[in-house]
Amino acid sequence: MDHQPPPFFKRGPAPVALLSFYVALSVALLVADARLQTLEVLRQALSMFTHPVQHLAQLPAKFLDNAGNYFVSVSRLQDENAQLKRARLDNVATLLRTQHLEIENVRLRKLLGVKERQQASGQLAQILYSARDPYSRRIVIDKGQQDKVLAGQPVIDDAGIVGQVTRVFPFVAEVTLITDKEQAVPVQIVRTGLRSVVFGLGNGQLELRFLPANADVQDGDVLVTSGLDGIFLPGFPVARVVHIERDTSYSFARIFCMPLAGVENFSEVMILDPRPAVVLPEQLVREAAGREAKSPVRSGQAKKKRLKKD
């Protein structure tokens, strides 16, 4: 007669073996997702189910915010309204003169045959929350694939450049701020016209790199986008220089900047439309094609010369 232990005392794999198996499986999935982007479709499918849950979780906070805004005193609103009216009257003369200068600028550009500056257009978005990764500077907005948002689109606010769309889901999108370590923006110094690239430091600041130690840069200089990357339109404010470290033993100076836009604040932003691709003249295209066709011939001739020498 077989004496088998009760089911309660049956033991499966050892806990250490299970732990090792799940750790190895997690590492394999992380590597596969990082290298091959195999889980992107699954991530987007899960976001469709988690989006309603996140929306419900944010309802209490939105209700409290709306209630607080509702009970704002009438006197404060009247004061703000009066201040806006005074500011509007003060800026009427400047606004009218600016409009006149814009019209005159367009006319002069047409006379000189200069290409007209591209106008910025886009759509408004609300910042929902910041990403849960403490080592990155990213935010999530309430526009996604259904709003025709694409990865790579610039994001701005009323003060300047905020960041760039890096990941798009069906209902939301993820924006990487310019203060993130992996973000870089080509810029130009307004005062001198000097061009360089500004990088995020991950701590809310930026660093202007690749400038020599004797470069003409001063505290308070304003940086704007140069537009050389083909992503950001030229002329948008980016940052202001706050500290410069010059050391003659190094080739480049360390220039620290603070972003002008509210990259760390929760507010509304604007997603700019992608810039159209630059169409090269036919002559340049033919010259480039000719150079590419000649390069294999030259390389073959060089190899033959080397073989003859050997």
Q: Summarize pLDDT for 86-100 with one digit per residue, the tens.
A: 777 777 667 777 777
Q: Which domain holds residue 190?
A: 184-271
Nearest to 218 by CA among 228, 208, 229: 208
Q: How many domains does the chain have?
A: 3
Amino acid sitting at position 3: H
Quick check: is 253 in a domain?
Answer: yes
Q: Which residues of 124-142 are buried (b: 16+ CB within 10 A; e: fewer)?
A: ebebeebbeeeebbbbbbb
The CA R_g of the chain, rounded to the nearest whole Å, is 28
Q: What percent of the chain has pLDDT over 70?
A: 80
Residue 144: helix, strand or coil by DSSP? coil
Query: Would you say residue 293 lies in a domain?
Result: no
* Residue range 107-149, pLDDT digits in tens: 777 767 655 566 778 888 988 888 777 778 899 999 999 999 9
pLDDT of 151: 92
pLDDT of res. 207: 95
Is 54 part of any domain?
yes
138 vs 102 pLDDT, higher one: 138
How far CA 22 is from CA of 26, 28, 40, 79, 129, in Å, comes to: 6, 10, 21, 62, 31
The pLDDT of residue 246: 87
Q: Encoding tokens for residue 37?
A: 């982007």
Asked if 201 and 265 sit in the same domain, the reply is: yes
Residue 134 lies in a domain: no
Q: Rounded to the nearest 10 degrees, how much is the dihedral formed by the CA atoms of 201, 203, 205, 210?
A: -10
Note whether residue 231 is domain-resident. Answer: yes
Instruction: Please indicate, yes or no, if residue 161 is contained in any of the structural domains.
Output: no
Whether 277 is covered by a domain: the verdict is no
93: in domain? yes
Instruction: Examine the domain organization and report whether 203 and 250 are in the same domain.
Output: yes
The secondary element (H helix, E strand) that includes residue 255 is strand 254-259
Query: Is the model's pLDDT at 43 over the cut of 60?
Result: yes
State CA 185 to chain mean position distance: 9
- 57 with 88, same domain: the answer is no
